[in-house]
Structure 1
Amino acid sequence: MRELSVSVTDRFLKAYAARSPAQAQSVKQVLGQIMGLAVRHDAIAINPVRNVGRLRTTKRTIRALDQAELEAVRVAVRAWRAGEGADGRRPLGPRPNGDLADIIDVALGTGLRINEVLAIRWCDVDLDGPRPTLTVTGTLVQLKDAGIVRQDSTKSAAGLRTLFLPGFAVDVLRRRRAKAPANGLDAVFATRNGTWVSAHNVRRQWRAIRDEAGLDWVTPHAFRKTVATIIEREFTSKGAAAQLGHASEAITENYYVVKNLEAPDFTRVLDRLGPQGTTHG
């Protein structure tokens, strides 16, 4: 540990950042905590991580789905549910149910994270009021000894919120309420055995579908970014942050909203700066 000088640490972190820029900051943070603990126990004199150079990170391009891509997603899921692979043959295993299509529609109608969607209970939903709502009260977590359990709290205080539901999400939930078998968890989405649905399995199913459909860049989080982008464009970034449950608008703007590269049309005002006496059609 004493051989981990500032220069050695600096070279290591920069080499790591060149391979995996998205994870380099996390590695630096963890390494800094380890070395800080060593300093407190007098194993080393200084924390070398504090004096390394700044890591350059490449900001990922934010992408949201347009209407054509959303339709392609739904077409691909319908084909998968019907068992129509790229070769026209039905894949082995149990016949897919309609859960994935419904999960995607609820995600698009709310902007929730995938584990928040899967944690929705019927007691969180009001479909019979004049304006149907969903109250976000928890998320699913994977525990080593207990498996998948519902955590009755959100990622942050801002995550506890009540959302108004669009018509297509209301239709999905009403249909599930009428047809889906009851379960002891009061879960909107449950397995055939009445347990919580695994987000890992949802992602695995979606990866198999998207690769065949040419939508390899679309992850469940892309649905969340699509919601943020459309709300920001039509309303405000403050509204998008409230919908997503972010405490800060900056998080929404920097990581979830696709930037609009087209400036507003100011030509009527700018024409005042032109030569006097000229008109423009």
Structure 2
Amino acid sequence: MVRAPLPLGTHGNITYYEQANGHWQARARYRDYDGVTRTVKRNGHTKNAAMLNLKTHLAERRHASATAHLSPNSTLKDLAEIWWEEFQTKGKATSTQHRYRYDLDRLILPGIGQLKIRECTVGTLTSFLKAVSRNNGQQTARVVKNILKGMFDVATAYDAAPRNPVKDVTLAPPKKKETKALDYMDALKLKGLLTGEVREVLEIMLGTGCRVSEVLALRWRDFDFSAPSKVRVSINGTLTRDENGHYYRQDHPKNKRARAAILPPFVAQMLIRRRDTEIPAHARTTAWAEPDMFVFPSTAGTLQDPNNFRRKWREQVKGTDYEGVTPHNIRSTVATFLNENADLTTASLQLGHSGTEITARHYVRREELAPDSTAILELYGREVQS
């Protein structure tokens, strides 16, 4: 009777041989992932030591081989390891890699990491993604779906799945958010309401159209005060999360293109005053504003967590007419104001967009008042003589 081959990545019984020098050798037949069964040997001073050395080697051999092999019985955790190694070679933005790793570790692996690939049906993945959407929001659910799609693309490439089930998962379409922008007078009233660095950050956003994460990433070296009447700022970074969820300064904005802007006088004057007279919590004298220092540092003198800033913002607008207004609304406020008083191209360039379509779709508030057509519609007011 022909002996059945060992399953891939497994070994047979371990046998032991005492050598002439008194040491021991442990041997076992092991079937590698290329389908070839080989005899593997390891020595030790004692029989037990030889066994442990052999088992350690077999475990390492199995792990090394498994990176090039997947089966329907492999877990999503195994699949994730192989997908991640391949994903890191695709040249994605660092922030994207950090976001994907963060959501993989905090949502996918704890949630369904122990499922086998063959157990991941369309229904199973739909239920999981709906739970993510419900508990973590639609945007996060879409990111997690993209990760899973990439993972199962790898699974199908390795013949571990007949097809990619994620392609048939349907999530509810994202709700279209209405662009929320303040009127000119409301922006001025909000500025008068805020105090301290919260007001100062608002002033930079009003004067540049920057995101709050871009403002908090500004260092004194990013400003050129050589011409007091035309102070320039280089918007060349932003704050983003790493794979552990901690913020760091990324040396380019969200769209990877640095941009420069001339500051309105009220913003330039505020910055000069802040640099020369204000003393933040971490400092003792006005000598704190070194070139590499953040303009709006934390109490420890490091970068300020955007979530902490948003908390300060909410505390100052709580109970006012502007409760619910967020820093992101200011970006839309600037875009709408420039579109109304200049043109859409100016608004797009100020915000650093690659074209006017993004500005028009997401940042410029739509005019609710219909155009004045009274001269035409007044024709309906005529009386017909019978």
**Range into which the TM-score falls when normalised by the shorter chain:** 0.7 to 0.9
Question: Distance in 2 between the 1:251 and 1:193 partners?
Answer: 37
| Deviation of 1:42 (Å) | 2.3
Distance 1:171 1:264, change over 3 A: farther
User: Corresponding residue for 1:89?
Assistant: none
Q: Which has the higher contact order (CA 8 A, sep 6+)?
A: 1
Amino acid at match of 1:108: L
User: Corresponding residue for 1:6?
Assistant: 122
| Deviation of 1:12 (Å) | 5.7
Moved more, 172-181 or 8-17: 8-17
User: Corresponding residue for 1:255?
Assistant: 362
Question: Distance in 1 between the 2:293 and 2:123 partners?
Answer: 56
TM-score, normalisation: structure 2? 0.57
| Deviation of 1:212 (Å) | 2.7
| Deviation of 1:223 (Å) | 1.0
User: Corresponding residue for 2:224?
Assistant: 126
| Deviation of 1:203 (Å) | 1.0
| Deviation of 1:202 (Å) | 0.7
User: Corresponding residue for 1:104?
Assistant: 202
Q: 2:260 aligns with which of 154, 162, 168?
A: 162
1:161-197 CA-to-partner distances (Å, cap 9, x unmatched) read 1112122212211211321322443332234543222
How many residues are paired up? 254
| Deviation of 1:15 (Å) | 7.4
User: Corresponding residue for 1:46?
Assistant: 163
| Deviation of 1:148 (Å) | 5.0
Distance 1:53 1:153, change over 3 A: closer
| Deviation of 1:143 (Å) | 4.6
Distance 1:130 1:207, change over 3 A: closer
| Deviation of 1:75 (Å) | 4.1
Distance 1:234 1:15, change over 3 A: same
Aligned-partner SS, 1:162: strand
Amino acid at match of 1:109: G
1:107-256 correspondence to structure 2 within 5 Å? 107-127=205-225, 128-143=227-242, 149-157=248-256, 159-180=257-278, 181=286, 182-184=288-290, 185-256=292-363
Distance 1:54 1:72, change over 3 A: same
* Percent pairwise identity: 32
Amino acid at match of 2:331: R
| Deviation of 1:45 (Å) | 1.0
Structure number, greater radius of gyration: 2
Query: CA RMSD, aligned part only?
Result: 3.2
Amino acid at match of 2:327: P
Aligned-partner SS, 2:119: coil
Distance 1:149 1:14, change over 3 A: closer
Amino acid at match of 1:103: V
1:50-65 correspondence to structure 2 within 5 Å? 50-53=167-170, 55-65=172-182
TM-score, normalisation: structure 1? 0.75
| Deviation of 1:147 (Å) | 6.1
1:249-272 CA-to-partner distances (Å, cap 9, x unmatched) read 22222221111233555677x59x
